[in-house]
Amino acid sequence: MKIKTIFKINIVLIFLQALPLYISLFSPEFKMMLTSDAFGSSPSPDAIIMFEQFALVLGLLILGVISFIYGALSFNDINILKRISFLLFALTGFFALPDLINVFTGQPTAPLPVILMGLVTLGLFYFGSKKGTI
């Protein structure tokens, strides 16, 4: 599989994973739905402020990662692309790890589709680092 195709697929998957955060920034009802999963049916105002900051910081960080992946599409050397793919594998692994830990410990976590998209992203980056082509 072409490594640049892997990058493009992962851009879409990463954006879809972050979509609930972006929606929560503009929809109070959606924000309450997400916060009530972790903080109970009536979260405190401090919990809401904390979640808003979390959503903003993580959302912007994810946009930065997407920008990095998009910028990596300009490279044409297969060795550089494979190395970048491996580094992105490590980065997305650390993004996926908290959800996996929470699933196994029974803690509140992201919805299952978001977790699965994270694992697919992780696998695609690893595949690109080992068997990606130009």
The range of the structural domain enclosing residue 62 comes to 3-131
18-61 pLDDT tens trace? 999 999 999 999 999 888 877 888 889 999 999 999 999 999 99
Predicted confidence at residue 110, as pLDDT, reads: 85
The average pLDDT across 97-126 equals: 93
| Domain count of the fold of the chain | 1
* DSSP one-letter string for 41-72: SS--HHHHHHHHHHHHHHHHHHHHHHHHHHHH
Predicted confidence at residue 34, as pLDDT, reads: 87
Quote the mean pLDDT of the chain.
94
Predicted confidence at residue 64, as pLDDT, reads: 98
| Share of residues in the chain with pLDDT > 70 (%) | 100
Predicted confidence at residue 126, as pLDDT, reads: 98
Higher pLDDT, 123 or 39: 123
Q: Give Cβ neighbours of residue 126 (< 8 Å, ≥ 6 apart).
A: 85, 86, 89
